[in-house]
Copies of this chain bind each other. A is one copy, B any other.
Amino acid sequence: MVELSRAELHVSVSDPVATSMNFLNEIAGRYPDAISLAAGRPYDGFYSTEDVQRYFASYVDHLRDGGLSEEQVRRLLLQYGRTNGQLGSLIATMLEKDEGIMVAPESVMVTAGCQEAMIIALRALCPGPGDVVLAAEPCYVGLTGAARILGVDVVPVPESPAGLGPETVAEVARAVRAAGKRPRALYLVPNFSNPSGVSLPVATRRRLLDVAAEQDLLLLEDDPYGLFGLDDEPRPTLKSLDTEGRVLYLGSFAKSCFPGARVGFLVADQTVVDAEGRRTLLAEEMSAVKSMLTVNTSPISQAVIGGVLVESGCSLRAANRDKVEFYRDNLRTLLAALERHFPRSPSGEDAVRWNVPRGGFFAVVALPFEADEKLLEISAEQFGVLWTPMRFFYSDGGANALRLSCSYLKAEQIAEGVHRLSRLVAAAA
């Protein structure tokens, strides 16, 4: 029988992040009663199986109301479809209503989840070995993993507790250029980042757009958590502030709707000019990449998300009021429990420190000792609580910190989870 050596498979198979995530899943499987402050998935009590059927039907009605014949509807849903998908108009309307982003439907590509949007953007923009992508670090593992699949180098831009610094971005871009490479784009999550929970002040966003222009960088703005602020303070997306076409916007419906649809999108309204001077939209150029990855995003899944958009009048902000309340309550509970168990001293010189995100699913706790996989196993076995080592999100660093997620649980579990964590910390200190 054929036996393959693992060393002869592509490096992405042995991806340290995949290995780490497998370890986390394996631990979660072994200790099913442990409270998981590790799982960053959305809470799944907002929808029922029947909702899927209703959303699908709503979208079908929308198509019929738009004057399509039965045959046309059937073809749109069951046949191969347009590579960039059929939700461009609905998504463009949503972006205008919810985010003040004005883009033509043709600049929207519907993707098989936001993960595919990342890999398409990286592939199209980074053709050669000298093209690198910068990424705020700590960084979402989906971005570094996608880059590894393609062999695209990711250069980390260290984030401070206040978030990404535009001058640091400029510095790293200059260093990359000095090393003979081309910094092509910067990936960041400006709102309530995963994993750090940090958001960028509006002035920083504006300055970042200036730096992008100065350094000839594109910005890959990933915004899955933007709806879920603790307050109603406006946090304009980079794309809505972008007058120059510097930003590619990566969209997800996993948190605002549900992950099972596996529908995300990419906004790429930049102009591409070919050797003959012909002009096209970047989203249209990128369709050649999409067609060789997944042909087109499942129209059945698109129909379900289309139904959510149709029913909500293309405003996920409006449709998500109950979710916003739920996640606000969870984050408040998390922060209150951290304050209770790890109170801040007036001096600020605490052994255990934690940040105060203004929204989203995550917060970070720094310990006076390593938060490694060994400690995680002890935590699961002896204290019944799971968390994510921050090390997973760094190329090199994060050894003493851990990420806590508050999205998947109910408030009382979160409070109990932090209580258990405090017992672990007391025992390990």
Contacts and interface: CB of A to CB of B under 8 A. Distances in A.
Given A2-B246, A6-B273, A146 B296 contact: no
What is the copy number of this chain in the assembly?
2
A41 interface: yes
A219 to B, nearest CB: 11
A10 B262 contact: no
B258 A11 contact: no
Interface stretch (A75-83, A171-179, A393-401): A75-83
Interface in A326-369: none
Contact of A300 (B52, B286, B293): B52
Nearest to A151: B151
Contacts of A18: 288, 291-292
3 smallest CB-CB distances across A and B, nearest first, come from A145-B292, A262-B298, A18-B288
B77 A3 contact: no
Interface string A146-158: 1011110000000
A363 B3 CA distance: 38
Highest count of chain B CB atoms <10 Å: which of A13, A150, A285: A13
Contact of A77 (B4, B49, B112): B49
Contact of A285 (B9, B142, B296): B9
Contact of A74 (B47, B244, B254): B47
Contacts of A315: none
Interface string A188-220: 000000000000000000000000000000100
Q: How large, as a class, is the contact surface on chain A?
A: 35 or more
Interface string A111-125: 011011001000111
Interface stretch (A53-61, A101-109, A160-168, A223-231): A53-61
B244 A2 contact: yes
Among A52, A151, A271, A304, max chain B CB count under 10 A is at A52
A65 interface: no
Given A10-B123, A57-B53, A293-B293, A79 B286 contact: no
A424 interface: no
A293 B115 contact: yes
A282 interface: yes
A127 B8 contact: yes
Given A3-B272, A3-B273, 6 more contacts: A13-B286, A47-B74, A48-B74, A52-B300, A260-B298, A262-B294
A236 interface: no
Nearest to A262: B298
B304 A300 contact: yes
Nearest to A299: B260
A44 B261 CA distance: 24
Contact of A292 (B12, B288, B298): B12
A1 interface: yes
| Most chain B C-beta atoms within 10 Å of own C-beta, residue among A57, A145, A260 | A260
Report whether over half of chain A's contact residues are helix, strand or loop; otherwise say mixed. helix
A295 B262 contact: yes
A149 B293 contact: yes
B127 A260 contact: no
B44 A74 contact: yes
Given A112-B112, A291-B18, A301-B301, A259 B3 contact: no
A274 interface: yes
B254 A2 contact: no
Contacts of A73: 49
Contacts of A300: 52, 260-262, 298, 300-301, 304
A388 interface: no
A10 B294 contact: no
Contacts of A1: 244-245, 271
A264 to B, nearest CB: 10
Interface string A262-273: 110000001111
